[in-house]
Amino acid sequence: MTGKFAAICSELGIDADPIMQGLGEDFATALEGDRKKAFLSSRGEHYNARIIADYFNRCGLETRLVLPEEIGFTVGGAFLSARVMAESYANLEALKEEPRICLMPGYYGITREGEVAVLSRGGSDLTGGEIAYAVNASLYENWSDIDGVYEADPRVIKEADVIPRLTFKEIRLLSSKGFNVFHFDAMTSCKKRNIPINIRNTNRPSAAGTMILNERVPEEEVVGIAKLDNMAYIYLEKEGLGEAIGFTEGLLGIFNSYGINTYHYPTDKDDIAVLLRKEDLSGNINNLRAEIEAKLEPDVIDVVYDLAILSMVGIGMRNNSYAIADAIAVLKDHHIDVEMIDQGPAKISFHIGVAQHHADRALELLHRRLILEA
């Protein structure tokens, strides 16, 4: 790592000695365990910020380096998945009056005890969102290495385009179903203050990117299609389970006790299906099945593997359900069986399960029919 930073400093014409000295001292830390992991993993953001601040000032851009440990960007909880504390906002609000460019490293904060802790993966997005909220920014630009949020996975659908505008609700739904382009927690605070978020590409600054807003005019029915691969579902049948108070809560509680995240649980009068990642069943399925049978006594319990879930999202679907009919029809025309279908209660999303080996073809067909031809 020291060689990488030395090369960057040399290329930018910055004095590397303070950076190299700081790195040497940091690498010699006496911290142990998660404290050490958190501290060392924060150093990339820390020293990149120091280098960029030096470079900006060298170029005549008056810049203030704002370090979390100096401004009081306070976090709590676990050292490797910290959460932002309320007092951070008051501390950050002072930046509103700063006439210079303020540059702050993302991803980490400081505990009330003065120790470094890092946010979860994507924590730099979260840092930016929290700063935007604290200063009540008119816009939060999030620069990454992609042009924005695509209509579908561009690795599968080459003709997929960038979605120009999304609501916070739409990006939340897409993110929860496989669109891993932005840390959702970074949006939460911005949504509270109606701060638009613009996702842009650092390597293509001319691209407009995707704007995330509280509201947009619902022109399109479907704006994006997410795909979750390698899913499974556990199916339970028991007479009257839909009327049994606490049955669903008890079932989901069993999954929670195994640390298993569930995605959907469509239910009917006498049956329920719980969707989850197939890998989460590895090493758990026998014990899980036994506990469900012992506690809930279902008449039937079955496990279906190798499923892909395709999720269509768009606030324009509130006004009609034609997209669902079109989706079923195009899959039927190409002999792709629907293993599961579920509509979200807000009527702005629906989810279709197909066999994993049909997933990419189904995504291609649905993208063409529901987005390109709509």
pLDDT single digits (tens) 246-277:
888 999 999 999 999 998 788 888 999 999 99
Decide if 1-137 and 224-372 have a common fold: no
pLDDT tens track for 46-97 = 999 999 999 999 999 999 999 999 999 999 999 999 999 999 999 999 999 9
Number of residues written out for the chain: 374
pLDDT of residue 259: 92
pLDDT-wise least confident of 117-126, 172-181, 316-325, 349-358: 172-181
Q: Give mean pLDDT, residues 279-293.
A: 93
CA-to-CA separations, 41 to 142, 168, 336, in angstroms, rounded: 21, 30, 46
The dihedral through the CA atoms of 207, 368, 196, 89 has a sign that is: negative
Phi, psi of 217 (to 5 degrees): -70, 120
Integer-rounded Cα Rg, in Å, for the chain is 24
* Strands 140-144 and 197-201, sheet pairing: parallel
Confidence of residue 2 (pLDDT cuts 50, 70, 90): confident
Mean predicted confidence (pLDDT) in 201-226: 91
Residue 172's pLDDT is 87
- The per-residue pLDDT for 185 is 74
Q: Whole-number mean pLDDT of the chain?
A: 92
How confident is the model over 290-305, as pLDDT tens digits?
999 999 999 999 999 9
| CATH code reported for the domain at 1-137 | 3.40.1160.10
Q: Sorting pLDDT into bands at 50, 70 and 90, what band is 372? A: very high
Report strand pairing: 197-201 vs 210-213. Answer: antiparallel
Q: Which residue has the tokens 């910020």?
A: 49
| Exposed e or buried b per residue across 160-175, where buried means at least 16 C-beta atoms within 10 angstroms of its C-beta | bebbebbbbbbbbbbb
**What is the architecture of the domain spanning 140-216?**
3-Layer(aba) Sandwich (3.40)
What pTM was computed for the model?
0.85
For the domain with range 224-372, which CATH number is right: 3.40.50.720, 3.30.2130.10, 3.40.50.300, 3.40.50.10490? 3.30.2130.10
Q: Give the Cα separation of 158 and 177 in Å (integer).
A: 20
**104: three-class secondary structure by DSSP:** coil
Q: How many CB atoms lie within 10 A of CB 185?
A: 17
Q: What is the DSSP string of 351-362?
A: EEEEEGGGHHHH
Name the pLDDT band for 245 (thresholds 50, 70, 90): confident
Q: What residues does each domain of the chain span? A: 1-137, 140-216, 224-372
Helix and strand element counts for the chain (H, E): 12, 15
307-365 pLDDT, tens digit each: 999 999 999 998 888 999 999 999 999 999 999 898 988 899 999 999 999 999 999 99
| Residue 3: predicted pLDDT | 85
pLDDT of 112 reads 95
Sign of CA dihedral 78, 79, 82, 85: positive
* Percent of the residues in the chain that have a pLDDT greater than 90, as a whole number: 80
